Amino acid sequence: MSETLLSVQDLTVAFGRGPERNVAVKGLSYDLRKGETLAIVGESGSGKSVSSMALLGLLPPRSACIESGRAMFRDRDLLTLPEADKRALRGDAITMIFQEPMTSLTPVLRIGLQLTEALVEHKAMSQREAEARAREMLRLVGLDQPERRMRQFPHELSGGMRQRVMIAMAMAADPAILIADEPTTALDVTVQAQILNLMRGLKDQFSTSIILITHDMGVVAEMADRVVVMNRGRKVEEGPVSTLFTAPKEAYTRRLLDAVPRLGAYAAAAEPRRVVEAPAPVGDTLVRARGMSKTFSSGGFLFGRGGATTRAMQDVGFELKAGETLALVGESGSGKSTTGRAVLRLMELDAGEVEVDGVDVRNLSSSGLRKARRRMQMIFQDPFASLNPRMSVGKLVAEPMTIHGIASGSELDGRVEELFRRVGLEADHIRRYPHEFSGGQRQRIAIARALGVGPKLIVADEPTSALDVSVQAQVLELMLELQQSLGLAYLFISHDMAVVEEVSHRVAVMRQGRIVEIGTRQAVLNAPAHAYTRALLAAVPVPDPARERQVLPELDVGTLPMGALAEVAPGHMAAQ
């Protein structure tokens, strides 16, 4: 790894012009060697993604300006290349995996076309060769039925499945440099382990260099050779991964490492971590779900007939009490998000019953459902897709409170400012728009919006997956404080098992549309009864670079059939 493949020197990037301009990256310098994995870490908004997008000419030209710097790749300065040359590099010599797959994939084009077009353009493959390569990559990233996936559109896939498609697109061309911007954020731990193994294999086989942008310090420990730490646009520390974890020089780096959730840290506790002196006790049953089933059809050529069907949920049931957190875990596509949306009646079920606070949600009229929305809110996985881009974020947070008549005028403004402070945002952010924030900041806005109406139930779909570890710790602290002070119930959908251990009372494991194991947090995490639960726990990345980097066996898609409950011990399942 002695040959320098990319040399970035004094990179400064700003948005806007004049005194109001925002300098996002300030004098950043680093070298990337051939065959090396360089991790760039830091809080959201620290300039990690902006610095890498500048290399590929992907920043908006009207608002972004590269004020200084050089980025030498194969004796050429990436920052001054003509646009035609940049296009030739993108998708061939340098590829990028983006943080938000739904906004990176073209919604009106089938997955197969999006996978093959770069191979035909950059690799001079025939259409048949490109399609064969695309199917191979879909299998490698853990997607079942690659022929069918090629025919689907992005909206027909779950968030994690879309991220796997993005990874397949980036890796199909065997690039010299792979820029991976939060490549495993939306993935469950088993698929994450497979993707990390795949990226390591690519690096070893082709001497591919990887720039890994992430907030997951477990992934950094598993993957990185060196680490660059950024804070507010500047590089504050750089060094080998082992040195950074064992002897960080800067206080900021130490704070990042201290905030990393570690599986096993709360193993002995019977309850989630206490953050208030006298937390409200778990109360009566708030949510009762029985026999929930949902089948999706991909639709045929006309009128949705003749297409393939997918059983997203089959006979799913559980109870959730006031003040309790039930965590739903499992791989992407297992039905977790579908279950959360069904509880809030954001989609209609094929069969089943759902009661929230004694009200039959499925039989509510439109006006009744609207009133019920105040009692139940959702935090979505993809914050950019759930925020109206034409509204300022202050208006977005205020909107639910206005709809439900909670506050108006100066009182409403005060509530919005307080919510922004509680989720770690500044008051001067209120007048900005969603596109002006990083992915982690947008998720904080979405959390503030959900909290504003004072709900009894929050369905949190990967609420911290887009957040760096320090902000994740603040948001989890906030969610625990609200729950323990106000008796909130959380249906907490997550793939981060360390976070699940910290916040949950009970855990339900989903696999292929069914709950295969459910029980207390201690029972499920400390003594898992099902083989799939054990696979999930074994695949959790450990934030310790001294630990031997294991190549975990792939979990074959379909090895556990629908309704595989044979290994669940008697008494370990809650009443369904």
CATH of the domain at 37: 3.40.50.300
pLDDT for the residue numbered 141 = 81
3-state secondary structure of 235: strand
- Residue 148: pLDDT band by 50, 70, 90 thresholds? very high
- Residue 550: pLDDT band by 50, 70, 90 thresholds? low
* Beta-carbon contacts of residue 449 (< 8 Å; ≥ 6 apart): 387, 396, 397, 399, 400
CB 509 within 8 A of CB 547: no
b/e map 106-145, b = 16+ CB within 10 Å: eeeebbbebbbbbbeebeebeeeebbebbbebbebbbbee
pLDDT for the residue numbered 471 = 75
| Cα–Cα separations (whole angstroms), residue 104 to 149, 168, 230, 331, 544 | 17, 13, 25, 22, 32
Of 83, 152, 141, give the one whose Cα is nearest residue 113: 152
Per-residue pLDDT, averaged over 246-273, amounts to 87
User: Over 50: is that where the pLDDT of 562 sits?
Assistant: no
- Residue 186: pLDDT band by 50, 70, 90 thresholds? low
Residue in this structure with the two tokens 């300039």, named with its chain if needed? 47
CB 259 within 8 A of CB 472: yes
Query: How far is 378 from 491, CA to CA, in rounded Å?
Result: 9
CB 431 within 8 A of CB 451: no
pLDDT for the residue numbered 523 = 94
Does some domain include residue 71?
yes
Total residues belonging to the chain: 576
CB 427 within 8 A of CB 408: no
pLDDT for the residue numbered 576 = 27
Query: How far is 197 from 460, CA to CA, in rounded Å?
Result: 29
pLDDT for the residue numbered 551 = 52
Could you give the count of Cα atoms lying within 13 Å of 507 in the half-sphere of its Cβ? 32
Does some domain include residue 524?
no
- Residue 298: pLDDT band by 50, 70, 90 thresholds? low
Helix axes 159-171, 111-123, angle to 10 degrees: 10
Q: Tens of pLDDT along 472-525?
A: 888 888 889 889 988 999 999 988 888 899 999 999 999 999 999 999 999 999
pLDDT for the residue numbered 161 = 82
User: Over 90: is that where the pLDDT of 216 sits?
Assistant: no
Return the minimum-mean-pLDDT range out of 31-35, 94-98, 368-372, 541-545: 541-545
Q: Which residues pair with 458 in a beta bridge?
A: 377, 490
- Residue 561: pLDDT band by 50, 70, 90 thresholds? very low
| Cα–Cα separations (whole angstroms), residue 33 to 7, 42, 51, 431 | 9, 21, 17, 42
- Residue 263: pLDDT band by 50, 70, 90 thresholds? confident
- Residue 301: pLDDT band by 50, 70, 90 thresholds? very low
Q: Tens of pLDDT along 440-452?
A: 788 889 888 988 8
User: Over 70: is that where the pLDDT of 305 sits?
Assistant: no
Per-residue pLDDT, averaged over 380-385, amounts to 77
- Residue 162: pLDDT band by 50, 70, 90 thresholds? confident
pLDDT for the residue numbered 303 = 44
User: Over 80: is that where the pLDDT of 563 sits?
Assistant: no
Return the minimum-mean-pLDDT range out of 184-188, 301-305, 408-412, 498-502: 301-305
- Residue 554: pLDDT band by 50, 70, 90 thresholds? very low
Domain count, the chain: 1
**Residue type present at position 428:** D
Does some domain include residue 557?
no
Rounded to two decimals, the pTM is 0.75
User: Over 90: is that where the pLDDT of 282 sits?
Assistant: yes
Per-residue pLDDT, averaged over 345-374, amounts to 93
User: Over 70: is that where the pLDDT of 568 sits?
Assistant: no
The residue segments making up the domain with residue 44 are 4-258
The kind and range of the H/E element at 16 are none
pLDDT for the residue numbered 103 = 75
Does some domain include residue 551?
no
Percent of the chain with pLDDT over 70: 92
User: Over 60: is that where the pLDDT of 407 sits?
Assistant: yes
Torsion of CA 464, 467, 473, 477, to 10 degrees: -50
pLDDT mean across residues, the chain? 86
CB 38 within 8 A of CB 203: no
Return the minimum-mean-pLDDT range out of 76-85, 250-259, 538-547: 538-547
- Residue 135: pLDDT band by 50, 70, 90 thresholds? very high
- Residue 564: pLDDT band by 50, 70, 90 thresholds? very low
Does some domain include residue 422?
no
pLDDT for the residue numbered 467 = 74
Query: How far is 352 from 295, CA to CA, in rounded Å?
Result: 12
Does some domain include residue 134?
yes
Helix axes 111-123, 127-140, angle to 10 degrees: 120
- Residue 567: pLDDT band by 50, 70, 90 thresholds? very low
Does some domain include residue 555?
no
Of the chain, the end-to-end C-alpha distance in Å amounts to 56
Residue in this structure with the two tokens 């919604």, named with its chain if needed? 107
pLDDT for the residue numbered 330 = 87
Of 125, 487, 68, give the one whose Cα is nearest residue 286: 487
Q: Which two tokens stand for residue 405?
A: 């008549």
Phi, psi of 293 (to 5 degrees): -135, 145
Q: Which long-range contacts (CB under 8 A, 24 or more apart) does 244-253 make?
A: 245/217, 245/221, 245/543, 245/544, 245/545, 245/546, 246/546, 253/229
Does some domain include residue 91?
yes
Residue in this structure with the two tokens 């929305």, named with its chain if needed? 373
Cα-only R_g, the chain: 24
User: Over 80: is that where the pLDDT of 466 sits?
Assistant: no
